[in-house]
Structure 1
Amino acid sequence: MLPRLQRIELRKCHKIQELPTLPTCLTHLEVASSSLREVPDLSNLTNLVELDLDNGGGVGDELCTRELRWIGRLSKLTKLSIRLHKVSVPTEVSSLPLLNELALFDLDLQTFPQVPLSLQKLSLDNVSIIGSLSPNLINLSCLKLCGCPMQEFQLDGIELPQLKELHVSDGAPLERLKLSRMRKLRDVTVQFCPKLVEIQFSWAVEALEALSIHFCDSFKRLVYETADELISCEGRLIFPLTVLNNLRALTLSGCLKILDVRVIGTSDSWEHFRLFHCPHVQGLGGLSNLKNLKSLDIQSCNRLRVVEGVDELELLGI
């Protein structure tokens, strides 16, 4: 039976209700069917490197999984995605020695499951987390949160010392995002969080290179808490370059509450500045401090009247 078949990808195959017997030579298996009613024991597929199971919440309580404890016997797995409605994460996931990427969907977690120390990328989609994340995330470099139903979310660099990328999207209830001691954080993207009011950076964020905030209707405040001062101003976004000294790119789009954007201090690293669809922004100041700014893109900011220092930017447009 297809003794050399290594990859099966069944995407949007919504008529599939059950999986057939599969060849043990498989290394990649992806199944996405809203009619999926049963996930059999796949522990015989010991060559699997990537496994993606998705029923899209289609059958709800009718899904029969026979539990997923067999996943712990797939010792070669490097990438695992579980999108099975109301199916808990097996504790055996923590025993997968090579697991590099984990994606979880539609879960209500009283305690976050244990994960292996090898994990570097974690995606949580519509996952409600009560309490803190797993203590085993010390090697995590990328975290993606989508649709997580929380008003406030806090991440601490003590728990995530290697985190370099953070992506937060579609957080309807999210009002505050707090990032503390994120010494290696390079890239932060926040989008489609309509109630988000503020993002707070506590202590060092010296590695931050890119900050993007898209279509967060209520967003109006960045807060910087350092050892000796607290910087915050409602409606005015202040970028103190003593704190953000490695920032290379800033994108603000669809932020309706922002009235003013101001850069304080000088920077040799900042190269790209994008301001889109922020209809109430009236002033943009301190651009002359960005000595190596190469691109300034402003669109649909109809009330913008003052752009300070743009005529002093020698590299702009080169």
Structure 2
Amino acid sequence: MCEKMINLHESIGDLKSLVMLDLYGTQIEELPDSICRLSSLKYLILGPGSSLENLPKSIGDLKSLVDLDLHRTQIEELPERIRRLSSLGKLILNGCVSLRKLSKLPSTLTHLKVESCISLQKLPSLSSLKNLRELNLSNCKMLEEIQGLEATKSLVEFSLYDCDTIETLPEVPLTLTSLKIESCFSLQKLPYFSGLKNLRDLVLSDRDKLEEIRGLEATISLEEFSLYDCDTIETLPELSSTLTSLKIKSCFSLQKLPDFSVLKNLRELFLSDCDKLEEIRGLEGTESLEKFGMYHCKTITDTPRKRLGQGKLLVDLFSGSYSLNLNDGIYKGLILCLVFELDINEQGRRRNTGKDIIYIHHFKGFDWFGFPLKGIDAIEEISVQGRDCDVKFWKLLPENTETDQRMVADFF
């Protein structure tokens, strides 16, 4: 690594067979115009770390250039002739904090990454980028709009993070397979999803003003959906039967979920900190469910003197936690008795509420806090955990004789 290099000699342009020029970690301040004579150059890596502020105006003469990496340079703007780079496929502008504007980009681009360009206010229209497949816009705090997104006919991955001043999005291209929109606090309205027949992965988070998600039920290829920190969402529309993973966290206004009985392919379901969530319907109809986690959903679990449950469980005495490992072959029948003690936190101190949840397993099937789950041989572990809930005591009793019923009564 040539950390003290600050310039290149003009003779660099005589290396007609040079394919890659990597100036990573140097202190290059300026590129000679002769670099544009490198007719075989395919990869030009100018960052991170250089002090480069401008590119040569004749940069467009590099007709073989495929990859241009300006990561964490001091570039302020790109020359107009950059659109003449007729082979350019990837442009990386991550961390170009001085970049104020972008010129029209070459139509050959397939990957465009613009991250932490905190001075960038405007992008050129993307409508000419017919070959663009991946677009990543992240932490561009002053970026106000995205034009021409709907015309990018080849786009499959679009990520938008921490772009605080964007208020609206145009319609997104129907070719998308992955869409991630996170921490865009001014964005009030999402595009209509019904036309996204190829969408497989959807992530929405930190959307304080989002009240509805439109057209989600028509995303017939959707496999993974994550919804985080969307405080104003109260209900979700019907979900595609192709869904395999659903994760919902810190949606404090969410009260109602769609019926899960149609989600025959759902393998994992995680719900966390959804305080107003009242019920989960149709969970017994999910034929492929392998992982189910629910944390701090108080409206569902915080019911005094609740009697629920059925199943055959074996307590893991040596795990150091209140985990219950299923073993369907050791006993013909079991009665599991659990008492949960509920606390509240007041000024840093925990106080007992005087409310307990009594949980009893003693009949066929399996039921966890009111959610019947079929196919118990597919469930390996149930974990009981929470900041405001302790297991007060528990006991495991064999279910065979009339004496067992008196044992349960004695337990309480």
After TM superposition, is the score higher than 0.5?
A: yes
Determine the C-alpha separation between the residues in 2 that align with 1:124 and 1:154. Answer: 15
Shift of 1:205: 2.2
1:101 is matched by which residue type in structure 2? Answer: K
Determine the C-alpha separation between the residues in 2 that align with 1:302 and 1:34. Answer: 53
Determine the C-alpha separation between the residues in 2 that align with 1:205 and 1:181. Answer: 9
What is aligned with 2:184?
Answer: 193
- Within the candidate set 220, 226, 237, 2:210 is matched to 220
The 8 Å contact of residues 79 and 99 in structure 1, kept in 2 or not, is answered as yes
What is aligned with 2:223?
Answer: 248
In terms of fraction of residues, the more strand-rich structure is: 1
- Within the candidate set 236, 246, 249, 1:262 is matched to 236
| TM-score (normalizing by structure 1) | 0.73
CA-to-aligned-CA distance 1:114-148 (integer Å, 9 cap, x gap): 33332211222327354751442112111111233
CA-to-aligned-CA distance 1:28-76 (integer Å, 9 cap, x gap): 33434585433333224433222122366x86xxx564x4224223222
CA-to-aligned-CA distance 1:183-213 (integer Å, 9 cap, x gap): 2122101123233333122772222221112
Pairwise CA RMSD of aligned residues? 3.2
In terms of fraction of residues, the more helix-rich structure is: 2
Determine the C-alpha separation between the residues in 1 that align with 2:26 and 2:42. Answer: 24
What is aligned with 1:122?
Answer: 112
1:91 pairs with 2:80? yes
Q: Which has the higher contact order (CA 8 A, sep 6+)?
A: 1
Q: 1:288/1:34 Cα in 2 relative to 1: closer, same or farther (>3 Å)?
A: farther
Determine the C-alpha separation between the residues in 2 that align with 1:300 and 1:37. Answer: 51
**Match of 2:242, SS?**
coil
Q: Indicate the structure (1 or 2) with the bigger Cα radius of gyration.
A: 2
Determine the C-alpha separation between the residues in 2 that align with 1:69 and 1:292. Answer: 55
Determine the C-alpha separation between the residues in 1 that align with 2:139 and 2:23. Answer: 22
Equivalent residues in 2 for 1:57-206, closer than 5 Å? 65=54, 67-83=55-71, 84-104=73-93, 105-106=96-97, 107-109=99-101, 113-125=103-115, 126=117, 128=120, 130=122, 133-148=125-140, 149-153=142-146, 155-157=148-150, 159-176=151-168, 178-180=169-171, 182-201=173-192, 204-206=195-197
2:85 is matched by which residue type in structure 1? Answer: L
What is aligned with 2:280?
Answer: 307
What is aligned with 2:303?
Answer: none
Q: 1:205/1:98 Cα in 2 relative to 1: closer, same or farther (>3 Å)?
A: same
CA-to-aligned-CA distance 1:216-265 (integer Å, 9 cap, x gap): 252423454xxxxxxxxxxxxxx641x32222210122x1414434232x
Shift of 1:313: 0.6
The 8 Å contact of residues 150 and 174 in structure 1, kept in 2 or not, is answered as yes
Shift of 1:268: 3.1
- Within the candidate set 243, 259, 267, 1:294 is matched to 267
Equivalent residues in 2 for 1:34-45, closer than 5 Å? 35-41=27-33, 42-45=35-38
1:46 pairs with 2:39? yes
Determine the C-alpha separation between the residues in 2 that align with 1:118 and 1:310. Answer: 47
**Match of 2:203, SS?**
strand
1:218 is matched by which residue type in structure 2? Answer: D
Q: 1:200/1:210 Cα in 2 relative to 1: closer, same or farther (>3 Å)?
A: same
1:307 is matched by which residue type in structure 2? Answer: I
1:75 is matched by which residue type in structure 2? Answer: K
Determine the C-alpha separation between the residues in 1 that align with 2:3 and 2:275. Answer: 46
The 8 Å contact of residues 200 and 222 in structure 1, kept in 2 or not, is answered as no
Q: 1:16/1:213 Cα in 2 relative to 1: closer, same or farther (>3 Å)?
A: farther
Where structure 2 has 5 or more consecutive residues not aligned to the other structure, the ranges are: 291-377, 379-412
2:63 is matched by which residue type in structure 1? Answer: S
Determine the C-alpha separation between the residues in 2 that align with 1:45 and 1:118. Answer: 20
Where structure 1 has 5 or more consecutive residues not aligned to the other structure, the ranges are: 1-9, 225-238
Shift of 1:155: 4.7
